[in-house]
Amino acid sequence: MKRLASIGFSWGHEYGQPPKTPEQLERDMRRVQEILVRIGYGHAFDPKRFYYDFHNVEVGSELFNVLIEELQKDPHLARPGSISIETRYTRKELGSAELLIWGPTNQAIEDDYYDFFAEDEEHRDLYRYCSACGAPHEQIREIVINKARMGKREVSLTYSNEVILSERVGQLLQEQGLTGFELWPVHHYKKAYKGEPTLYQLRVTHVLPPMASPPTEFDPVWTRHCEVCGRTGHYLRREHWWGKIHYYEDTDVYYPRSVLKVVKDFNHTVEWFGDLRVTHRWIIITQRVYRLLLEHKVKNWAAVPVYLAK
């Protein structure tokens, strides 16, 4: 596992901040130059360039430690929202996780959330919605999409966060006897066309018990709850501090180990994530699904380990 940071800093005026005096600008420009010299990038300094960004800086490396040390002295140089950490896992780490968060790596398919019905047709909602917050609840009919947007992808998301599978992948999951899901047919928004692919909507039918929290951390600032339908839209905690330095990093997801007694191959979280109006559940898969998709070289998806609390 590697934690890779993106770190940005600037000596210029920042949007939403009080304007700096000429003296402050001069001082901050010299400090930025000093930082660049110390990390071996003095040649990159340009008095006409206000900001500098460094990406894929491994946390704990000498470069990372020096940058954070220098910015601790002048935290106002850190560009707002520009410091974040991304975790990258090795194939071995992913291959040893008993459970993983799974999903498509693209959201490319326009669906009937945006209304594909003709003017003389009656609009039929895809979901039953909460009348107060607008949260989507039960899906009440089969989905209609522009199938051409699927292209050669084997897995994709619609704009309303529904998972669409190619015919090959759908048949693979069924043939292997995986559990916790069903496949619904997907319809093209116009009349059939030559070469129209057979596509499936992946419908996860099994719901896991709640995550272990703690150690899973939810962000109370962004959490929203609807008193009418009872839906809560969660966000994982992302905001953290290194001393005086503010940065973003998603916290890990934990389940009690007892969840292994009830888990299926495909599972939904009981928690809903995102803004209430577009909340969706995350998909949790077993190692069996992960290895099957790799073995058959299925593309267009990614996974992140889930941790089991003692």
The DSSP line for 125-145 is: -SEEE-TTT--EEEE-S--EE
pLDDT confidence of residue 92: 95
Q: What's the number of CA atoms in the CB half-sphere (13 Å) around residue 38? A: 16
Domain final residue pick, 88, 119, 149:
88
- Judgement on whether residues 218 and 264 belong to the same structural domain of the protein: yes
The answer to whether residues 50 and 11 belong to one domain is yes
Measure the CA–CA gap between 61 and 51, rounded to whole angstroms: 22
pLDDT reported for residue 252: 96
Residue 247 within a domain: no
Q: What is the residue whose two structure tokens read 């709640």?
A: 210
Same structural domain for residues 164 and 292?
yes
Residue 255's alpha-carbon distances to 54, 66, 91, 159, 262, in angstroms, are 35, 36, 22, 29, 12
Same domain, 71 and 113: no
Q: How far apart are CA 251 and CA 129, in angstroms?
A: 30
In a domain, 244, yes or no: no
- At which of 63, 88, 113 does a domain end? 88
Domain that holds residue 293: 95-237+252-310
Indicate whether 16 and 116 sit together in one domain: no
Q: What pLDDT is attached to residue 46?
A: 95
Instruction: Give the per-residue pLDDT at 118.
Output: 55
Cβ atoms 251, 217 nearer than 8 A: yes
Same domain, 141 and 83: no
**Is the same domain home to 17 and 136?**
no
Helical (H) or strand (E) element with 234? strand 232-234
Take residue 310 and report the two structure tokens written for it: 């003692």
Q: Are 154 and 169 in contact (CB under 8 A)?
A: yes
Whether residue 245 is contained in a domain is answered as: no
Domain boundary among 53, 88, 123: 88
Q: How many domains does the chain have?
A: 2
Please give the pLDDT value at position 169: 98
Residues of the chain with pLDDT under 70: 16, 112-123
Sign of CA dihedral 56, 60, 62, 63: positive
Q: Do both 277 and 231 map to the same domain?
A: yes
Give the pLDDT of residue 23: 94
Residue showing tokens 């998909």: 283
**What pLDDT is attached to residue 185?**
96
Q: Are residues 81 and 112 in the same domain?
A: no
Supply angle C-alpha 90, 96, 99, rounded to 5. Answer: 105
266 domain residue, yes or no: yes
Answer whether residue 246 is part of any domain.
no
Distance between CA atoms of residues 207 and 171, nearest Å: 23
Contact of 74 with 245, CB cutoff 8 Å: no
